[in-house]
Amino acid sequence: MNAPVSRPHAAMTGSARPLSLVHLVNARSANVGNGALSDGAEFVLSEDLGRPLAFRREAWDDYTFGVKPFDARFVDLINAADAMIVGGAVALNGQPHYQSTGMRFDLPQELWASIRRPVVFYGLSHRHWAGQPYHHGDKLRWALKHILDRDDMLLAVRNDGTREWLQKTLGFGDERMHIVPDPGVFVPAERDGTYHEFIDGKLNVILAFNDEDREHRFGTPEVRTRIIQGIACAIENMLAEYDANVVIVPHYFDDFRMAAEFIDACKPQLAHQCMTASGLSGLASSRHFYGRYLKADIAISMRVHSMSPCIGLGVPMVPLVTQARMTDFLADCGLADLAVDAFAPDLTERLLAAIRRTVAERQEIRRRFLDARASLRERARTFNGKVAQLLAA
């Protein structure tokens, strides 16, 4: 196995042999949100399963991009461990090349019967846009039903409306499908890291863009440009009111494009004197990356995996939403009132008002976030109890 191997977690003590878990994750991706998902899931599982765990990460993206095939050797990988955890990545996106199961876990149907170890699908999510076809939806319905019908598998989707989306889009509804909190809420962050982007004595503001799937997300170039200009105007007004330092924090390559256009939309003096940026971080350095969030006074978040770590870490945050799964996630957390609709015609005014509120009510928002985390943690613990029962069977 060529993917990075994680160290055994030491949360549990005793003489029991560590449970060997293959964790299927996007191990080679430059999108740091995959680190939030992987580290967060491993953190809570290690706390809840009641025995030492040894995670071995297998790069799901190797299979997605054809570096490795889903074949009998993949089944052997599962069977050589005590169990497999399929990470909570976006797996349901309707790509035409997922011909076996209609999702990124594209194991041919004839090989499923050869799996002899438990498999837990831990928080699968969707990214699918209105008007897009969902290719091989019949294969996906087969795979989901097969998982739910087996005694040695568990299926949980993320708390971002994925179960409701499956019902609406594919007509697939089954109460046996669990909903688990986005593991990014529980990401461990490095608390003593050095981050030179931040300036003592200023209001340090993280700005996390999201330019993935821009044609579908924004509809037209004109709408996207209007949103960028609305954000730029709100940030300019913020800088006129507060002695602030803006740190642009890209989560993936797409975000650089939007960040560059945002800079072009800002007054040159502000861009030169009041703003800076960080770089990308892969999965292995996600704890350092999210330690940066702990240094911020507030964050303006257009990405789910900027939003969910802020909630878990208690970082006051303005969610700037561009997709239903973002608003669904916030609603599930009891935080829907904080959302700012990026498509609103009065975006500048709404975003500026939300920034003012977040700055003024930082302690209250932090308290709400930590309360939300505590509630989500209990829900994760309940599901992890089912995982423990499955692995003990």
Binned average pLDDT, 10 residues per bin, the chain of 393 residues: 41 67 97 97 97 97 97 98 96 96 98 98 95 95 98 98 96 96 97 95 98 96 98 98 98 97 97 96 94 98 98 98 97 98 98 98 98 98 98 89
Q: Count of alpha carbons within 13 Å of 263, Cβ hemisphere only?
A: 16
Tokens of 4: 């990075």
The pLDDT value given to residue 13: 43
d(C-alpha 243, C-alpha 297), whole Å: 12
Amino acid 9: pLDDT: 44
Q: How confident is the model at residue 103, as a pLDDT? A: 97
Query: Which H, E and C letters describe the chain, residue by residue?
Result: CCCCECCCECCCCCCCCCEEEEEEECCCCCCCHHHHHHHHHHHHHHHHCCCCEEEEEEEHHHHHCCCCCCCHHHHHHHHCCCEEEECCCEEECCCCCCCCCCCCCCCCHHHHHHCCCCEEEEEEEECCCCCCCCCCHHHHHHHHHHHHHCCCEEEEEECCCHHHHHHHHHCCCCCCCEEECCHHHHCCCCCCCCCCCCCCCCEEEEEECCCCCHHHHHCCHHHHHHHHHHHHHHHHHHHHHCCEEEEECCCCCHHHHHHHHHHHHCCHHHHHHHEEECCCCCHHHHHHHHHHHHCCCEEEECCHHHHHHHHHHCCCEEEEECCHHHHHHHHHCCCHHHCEECCCCCHHHHHHHHHHHHHHCHHHHHHHHHHHHHHHHHHHHHHHHHHHHHHHC
Distance of CA 354 to the CA centre of its chain: 23
pTM: 0.93
**95-117 pLDDT per residue, tens:** 999 999 999 999 999 999 999 99
**Structure token pair of residue 203:** 């209001």
pLDDT in tens, 277-327: 999 998 989 999 999 999 999 999 999 999 999 999 999 999 999 999 999
